[in-house]
């Protein structure tokens, strides 16, 4: 093949093309990215969260007692009305305990410190010691500490525990030294070593894997989680900030519990920590698919008489993120620990909603209000769910009519679709709304992912770079999946309590994130055989990093044979040795890592594209 780069034909492209989309699906938050090790710390699990199917899914889920101790749930005088249930432990003999199993075991690391905190009261009114023990089922002890519980008023107690030996499967025992009756709530155990050492922080290894993608933005909290299953399940940001015990936990429409331990403060902080723009997505006043779940007469839309206050909440979010200390919500942000504004630029309104009258009416109201008060904020609308052949007609009609700055498209497709739709954005009207490709992934049978899916995603990313003047943002979805709790496939990163297992698709996202550019330079690929089947399987994208002026060439070859390729650079002002990164293997491989090597470069040079490969060549300016 021959690739000819035409430096005369260049255009600026989006500097925010590569991002990530976090949704609490597949246990991505509690038991996942959120570093909390105690499951159901708030005793707020409810049978209804599992549709009544899992009889163990109650307020005592993941808790047990030993000996003759009894655990009951009470709700009289809770710590806070948003967290209305708490545990009452009654012991009649010394040594009986309340035991937390964590998320199918508590993983501990040797030599590391852990923060144990709990709210407690001693119902008998006496002072009493609690022995806090991290041990495994065989009784082997990994750390111990003591908490002195004083009196009948809720008080928060905190201690630090140093772990002696690593284990994947500890449990937490709370053992009163005096028999009696104790009330407990918000029993929490965190590693000190969270991502960037933040309190109430994120699991360091998972968060690092996300940071390594070099995302320019993070979308949160969904997906379907953002608009919820029914009006009561719409994600309300105000319920997720401030003291943990005052946050309002909620049913997760993926069939489990959201503790809200990761809330808006934590999402924004994470964005700041990794240098990414926050992209909150708020329900457009309608819940998931807005038609059937809102109850009689509501059809899943917030009643009109409540829309003003709903819109005010959205305006308050912008004030919370960007307002200074003279503003009401800026003060709240500062009181929650973040004095400087976050500099929010984007807000998503709606997620994959059916474009119905119900949706439109509410979307228009929200859009108008944000535009009037915060014209500098880029509102990202939705063009609705994907349906073959309709190309989001209704969504685009609305976007064009009211000039929504950007719209969110979603599609999950087969490799063949990605191969045959490389021109998907080539003819998009550049004068209309920009595109945020908010959810996409390729999947083979059984919705699996492997080198094959990752390479067609690379083909698509080459097309997105080529169309980076109209496609402003993109994010693969879903991002995270816990082994044993995977509800949606494919996913970018799998994990369990101790390991993070990245996919080949992850490697592709990372290569495009790390080697992104802000200037697109036209190029042409010519294969000796002009057969369109072959032509569609070799692709090139050339970008320039505006800071370093490095030239980055990404070449995808999904043919089963290697392709010797001559690259012609008409302008050459680079060091003679470039970095070459190759990702290659068998199409069915699920674990492939990129390999770095050196590539001699000149105004024209040869390289070999292995069968089934992505090659990135990064040329450094002289
Ligand atoms: O990414 C998984 C789900 O797919 C999202 O929650 C939803 O927006 C889409 O249907």
Q: Does the beta carbon of 507 sit less than 6 angstroms from any atom of ligand 1?
A: no
For residues 145 and 75, membership in a common domain is answered with: yes
Domain CATH code at residue 43: 2.60.120.260
pLDDT at 344 over 70: yes
Could you tell me the distance, in angstroms and rounded to a whole number, from the CA of residue 381 to the centre of ligand 1?
15
For residues 105 and 55, membership in a common domain is answered with: yes
Which of residues 530 and 71 earns the better pLDDT score?
Answer: 71
Which of 499, 514, 530 lies at the terminal end of a domain, its last residue? 499
Is position 168 within any domain? yes
Is position 375 within any domain? yes
Output the pLDDT for position 135.
97
For residues 165 and 311, membership in a common domain is answered with: no
For residues 376 and 464, membership in a common domain is answered with: yes
Could you tell me the distance, in angstroms and rounded to a whole number, from the CA of residue 586 to the centre of ligand 1?
29
Output the pLDDT for position 300.
85
Could you tell me the distance, in angstroms and rounded to a whole number, from the CA of residue 421 to the centre of ligand 1?
21
Output the pLDDT for position 291.
52
For residues 348 and 493, membership in a common domain is answered with: yes
Among protein residues, the one whose CA lies closest to atom 2 of ligand 1:
478
For residues 174 and 292, membership in a common domain is answered with: no
Give the sign of the dihedral formed by CA 27, CA 514, CA 439, CA 21. Answer: positive
For residues 427 and 320, membership in a common domain is answered with: yes
Share of the chain above pLDDT 70, in %: 98
Left, alpha or beta for 311 (phi > 0: left; psi -120 to 50: alpha)?
Answer: alpha
Share of the chain above pLDDT 90, in %: 92
Left, alpha or beta for 536 (phi > 0: left; psi -120 to 50: alpha)?
Answer: alpha
Q: Does the beta carbon of 477 sit less than 6 angstroms from any atom of ligand 1?
A: yes
Could you tell me if 192 and 160 are in contact, meaning their C-beta atoms sit under 8 angstroms apart? yes
* Complex ipTM value: 0.98
Output the pLDDT for position 293.
46
Query: Which of 354, 439, 489 best tests ligand 1's pocket when mutated (most atoms within 8 Å of CB)?
Result: 439
For residues 155 and 300, membership in a common domain is answered with: no
For residues 163 and 283, membership in a common domain is answered with: no
Question: What's the distance, CA 265 to chain centroid?
Answer: 14
pLDDT at 198 over 90: yes
Name which of 327, 384, 320, 307 is nearest 347 in CA terms.
Answer: 320
Output the pLDDT for position 518.
98
Length of the chain: 622
Averaged pLDDT for residues 174-184: 96
For residues 282 and 169, membership in a common domain is answered with: no
For residues 161 and 269, membership in a common domain is answered with: no
pLDDT at 136 over 50: yes
pTM strictly above 0.90: yes
CA quadruple 424, 426, 427, 429: dihedral, nearest 10: 110
Please state the domain count of the chain: 2
Could you tell me the distance, in angstroms and rounded to a whole number, from the CA of residue 223 to the centre of ligand 1?
5
Output the pLDDT for position 377.
98
Is position 7 within any domain? no
Domain CATH code at residue 378: 3.20.20.80
- Residue whose token pair is 């990530």: 20
Confidence band (pLDDT; 50, 70, 90) for 51?
confident
11-to-14, 171, 276, 543, 608 alpha-carbon distances in Å = 10, 57, 24, 9, 28
* Catalytic residue list contains 352: yes
Regarding beta strands 2-12 and 563-569, do their DSSP bridges make them parallel or antiparallel, or are they unpaired?
Answer: parallel
pLDDT at 241 over 80: yes
Helical residues (DSSP H) of 275-413, grouped into ranges: 304-322, 328-335, 357-373, 393-402
Is position 113 within any domain? yes
Q: Does the beta carbon of 409 sit less than 6 angstroms from any atom of ligand 1?
A: no
Name which of 240, 477, 234 is nearest 349 in CA terms.
Answer: 234
For residues 229 and 363, membership in a common domain is answered with: yes
Is position 87 within any domain? yes
Judged by average pLDDT, the poorest of 81-95, 290-304, 554-568 is 290-304
251-to-61, 79, 296, 351, 574 alpha-carbon distances in Å = 15, 20, 21, 18, 56
Q: Does the beta carbon of 23 sit less than 6 angstroms from any atom of ligand 1?
A: yes
Among protein residues, the one whose CA lies closest to atom 9 of ligand 1:
223
Q: Does the beta carbon of 351 sit less than 6 angstroms from any atom of ligand 1?
A: yes
Is position 465 within any domain? yes
Is position 573 within any domain? no
Is position 403 within any domain? yes
Left, alpha or beta for 507 (phi > 0: left; psi -120 to 50: alpha)?
Answer: alpha
Averaged pLDDT for residues 63-87: 98
Q: Does the beta carbon of 281 sit less than 6 angstroms from any atom of ligand 1?
A: no
Name which of 448, 454, 466, 413 is nearest 583 in CA terms.
Answer: 454
Could you tell me the distance, in angstroms and rounded to a whole number, from the CA of residue 224 to the centre of ligand 1?
6
Q: What share of the chain is helix, strand, coil (3-state, %, to 5)?
A: 20, 35, 40
Output the pLDDT for position 127.
85
Output the pLDDT for position 299.
64
* Range of the structural domain that residue 311 is part of: 225-234+264-499
Averaged pLDDT for residues 523-528: 91
What is the longest distance spanned by two Cα atoms in the chain?
87
Q: Does the beta carbon of 223 sit less than 6 angstroms from any atom of ligand 1?
A: yes
Which of 191, 214, 244 lies at the terminal end of a domain, its last residue? 191
């Amino acid at each position: 093949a021959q690739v000819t780069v035409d430096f005369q034909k260049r255009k600026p492209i989006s500097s925010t093309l590569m991002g990530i989309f976090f949704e609490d699906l597949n246990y991505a938050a509690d038991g996942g990215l959120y570093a909390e090790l105690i499951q159901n710390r708030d005793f707020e699990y409810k049978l209804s969260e599992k549709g009544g199917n899992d009889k163990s899914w109650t307020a005592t889920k993941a808790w047990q007692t030993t000996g003759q101790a009894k655990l009951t749930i009470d709700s009289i005088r809770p710590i806070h009305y948003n967290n209305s249930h708490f545990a009452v432990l009654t012991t009649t003999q010394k040594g009986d305990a309340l035991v937390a199993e964590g998320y199918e075991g508590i993983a501990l690391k040797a030599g590391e410190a852990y923060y144990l905190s709990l709210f407690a009261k001693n119902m008998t009114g006496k002072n009493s010691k609690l022995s806090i023990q991290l041990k495994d089922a065989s009784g082997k002890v990994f750390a111990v500490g003591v908490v002195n519980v004083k009196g009948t008023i809720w008080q928060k107690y905190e201690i630090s525990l140093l772990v002696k030996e690593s284990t994947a499967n500890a449990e937490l025992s709370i053992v009163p030294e005096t028999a009696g009756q104790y009330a407990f709530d918000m029993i929490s155990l965190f590693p000190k070593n969270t991502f960037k050492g933040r309190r109430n922080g994120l699991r360091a290894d998972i968060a690092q894997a996300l940071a390594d993608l070099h995302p320019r933005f993070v979308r949160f909290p969904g997906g379907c989680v953002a608009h919820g299953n029914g009006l009561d399940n719409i994600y309300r940001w105000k319920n997720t900030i401030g003291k943990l015990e005052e946050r309002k936990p909620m049913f997760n429409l993926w069939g489990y519990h959201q503790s809200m331990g990761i809330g808006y403060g934590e999402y924004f902080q994470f964005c700041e920590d990794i240098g990414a723009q926050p992209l909150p997505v708020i329900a457009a006043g309608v819940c998931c698919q807005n038609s059937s779940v809102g109850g009689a007469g509501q059809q899943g839309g917030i009643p009109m008489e409540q829309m003003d206050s709903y819109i005010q909440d959205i305006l308050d979010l912008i004030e919370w993120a960007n307002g200074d200390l003279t503003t009401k919500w800026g003060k709240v942000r500062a009181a929650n620990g973040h004095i400087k504004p976050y500099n929010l630029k984007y807000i998503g309104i709606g997620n994959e909603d059916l474009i119905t009258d119900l949706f439109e009416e509410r979307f228009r109201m929200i859009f108008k209000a944000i535009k009037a008060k915060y014209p500098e904020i880029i509102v990202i609308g939705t063009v609705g769910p994907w349906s073959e052949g309709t190309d989001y007609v209704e969504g685009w009609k609305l976007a064009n009519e009211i000039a929504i700055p950007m719209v969110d498209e979603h599609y999950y497709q087969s490799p063949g679709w990605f191969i045959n739709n490389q021109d998907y954005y080539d003819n998009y009207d550049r004068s209309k709304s920009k595109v945020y490709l908010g959810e996409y992934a390729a999947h083979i049978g059984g919705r699996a992912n492997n080198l094959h899916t990752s390479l067609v995603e690379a083909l698509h990313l080459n097309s997105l770079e080529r169309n980076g003047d109209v496609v402003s943002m993109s994010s693969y979805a879903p991002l995270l999946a816990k082994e044993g709790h995977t509800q949606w496939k494919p996913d970018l990163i799998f994990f369990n309590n101790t390991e993070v297992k990245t996919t080949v698709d992850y490697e592709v996202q990372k290569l495009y994130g790390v080697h992104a550019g802000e200037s697109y330079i036209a190029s042409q690929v010519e294969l000796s055989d002009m057969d369109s089947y072959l032509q569609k399987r070799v692709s090139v994208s050339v970008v320039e990093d505006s800071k370093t002026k490095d030239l980055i060439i990404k070449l995808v070859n999904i043919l089963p044979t290697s392709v010797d390729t001559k690259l012609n650079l008409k302008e050459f002002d680079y060091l003679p040795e470039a970095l070459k990164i190759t990702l290659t293997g068998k199409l069915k491989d699920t674990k492939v890592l990129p390999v770095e090597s050196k590539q001699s470069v000149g105004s024209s040079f040869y390289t070999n594209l292995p069968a089934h490969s992505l090659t990135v060549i990064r040329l450094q300016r002289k």
